[in-house]
């Protein structure tokens, strides 16, 4: 797997760009949400990082197999047909409603056909109709590197487990993750599982972080030891966490190995909770 060195923009300087990209990702999710048959787990709304094109892409829809995509660096919404760009729209200076109308017309031939996902989003002026900004190109490029690296890393760690789900980006939390279900066929709320993923930041950590989370959450006094650099987060959710600050403290040529070692070690630790 290729790796883009991280740390050219410090983790604490990514928040504004991350929030705008989170809202932009809702546009990419809109065709799947509006045009595909609903799935119980909302997977019809999810996204994926296209490593070949370097974009966050939505689900294929329509007879022409179109999909929406987001170019982080230029904050550009695109309509793709296969690997070809059919149309593009710069989000800077436009509102969510304007961009959604543009996308709807090109994907569904109707400016009012698409709707955004309805989950709760972070507080931001864009939610109230404000336009996307025109700055933070460097921060968006850095976040593109995080998403590309995270997708490849999570895939590498779960690739040998047949129970692992496809690595996808979920528009609600804007995280990239795979779920290893240990009890197939059982109610998801009761089935044991281990999630392996990445968040670009949220209320818990205002910076990117990798995580491995066991379900059901075990008691705090039963949590096993973790690889160096990781810690257990237990407020609101339980997960082994590797923060961006911890990762970029490593030499750039050691970052990839550090992520794989951390995720792999934490996955082994979480699996040990369910033995016996």
* Tens digit of each residue's pLDDT, the chain (276 residues): 689 999 999 999 999 999 999 999 999 999 999 999 999 889 999 999 999 999 999 999 987 789 999 999 999 999 999 889 999 999 999 999 999 999 999 999 999 999 999 999 999 999 999 999 988 899 999 999 999 999 999 999 999 999 999 999 999 999 999 999 999 888 878 899 999 999 999 999 999 999 999 999 999 999 999 999 999 999 999 999 999 999 999 999 999 999 999 999 999 999 999 984
Indicate if 15 and 124 belong to the same structural domain.
yes
- Identify the pLDDT of residue 116: 97
Q: Print the domain residue range for 36.
A: 11-128
Q: Which residues contact 200 (CB under 8 A, 6 or more apart)?
A: 14, 18, 21, 22, 143, 146, 147, 174, 175, 208
Indicate if 204 and 166 belong to the same structural domain.
yes
Indicate if 159 and 240 belong to the same structural domain.
yes
- The structural domain count of the chain equals 2
- Domain boundary pick from 128, 154, 171: 128
Question: Which tokens belong to 58?
Answer: 């939505």
**Quick check: is 6 in a domain?**
no
For residues 21 and 62, what is the distance between their CA atoms, to the nearest angstrom?
25
* Residue 152: how many other CB atoms lie within 10 Å: 21
- Identify the pLDDT of residue 49: 98
Per residue in 16-36, is it b (16+ CB within 10 Å) or e — as a string? ebbbbbbbbbbbbbbbbbbbb
Indicate if 143 and 114 belong to the same structural domain.
no
Query: Measuring CA to CA, which residue among 204, 230, 232 is closest to residue 220?
Result: 232
Q: At what angle do helices 96-108 and 15-35 cross, to 10 degrees?
A: 40
- Domain boundary pick from 111, 128, 145: 128
Indicate if 99 and 64 belong to the same structural domain.
yes
- Domain boundary pick from 71, 95, 128: 128
């Amino acid at each position: 797997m290729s790796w883009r060195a991280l740390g050219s923009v410090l983790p604490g300087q990514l928040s504004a760009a991350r929030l705008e990209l989170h809202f932009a990702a809702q546009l990419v999710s809109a065709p799947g949400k509006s045009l595909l048959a609903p799935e119980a787990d909302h997977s019809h709304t999810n996204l994926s990082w296209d490593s070949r094109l370097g974009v966050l892409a939505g689900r294929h829809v329509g007879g022409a197999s179109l999909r929406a995509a987001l170019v982080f660096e230029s904050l550009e919404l695109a309509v793709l047909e296969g690997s070809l760009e059919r149309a593009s729209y710069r989000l800077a200076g436009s509102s969510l409603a304007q961009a959604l109308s543009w996308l709807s017309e090109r994907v569904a031939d109707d400016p009012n056909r698409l709707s955004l996902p309805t989950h709760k989003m972070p507080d931001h002026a864009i939610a109230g109709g404000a336009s996307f900004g025109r700055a933070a190109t460097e921060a968006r490029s850095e976040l593109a590197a995080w998403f590309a690296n995270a997708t490849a890393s999570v895939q590498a760690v779960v690739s040998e487990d047949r129970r692992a789900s496809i690595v996808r980006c979920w528009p609600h939390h804007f995280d990239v993750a795979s779920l290893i279900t240990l009890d197939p066929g059982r109610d998801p709320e009761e089935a044991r599982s281990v999630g392996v993923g990445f968040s670009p930041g949220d209320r818990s950590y205002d910076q990117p972080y990798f995580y491995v989370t066991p379900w059901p959450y075990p008691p705090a006094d039963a949590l096993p030891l973790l690889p160096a650099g990781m810690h257990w987060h237990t407020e609101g959710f339980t997960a082994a966490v590797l923060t961006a600050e911890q990762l970029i403290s490593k030499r750039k040529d050691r970052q990839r190995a550090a992520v794989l070692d951390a995720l792999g070690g934490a996955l082994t630790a979480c699996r040990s909770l369910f033995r016996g």
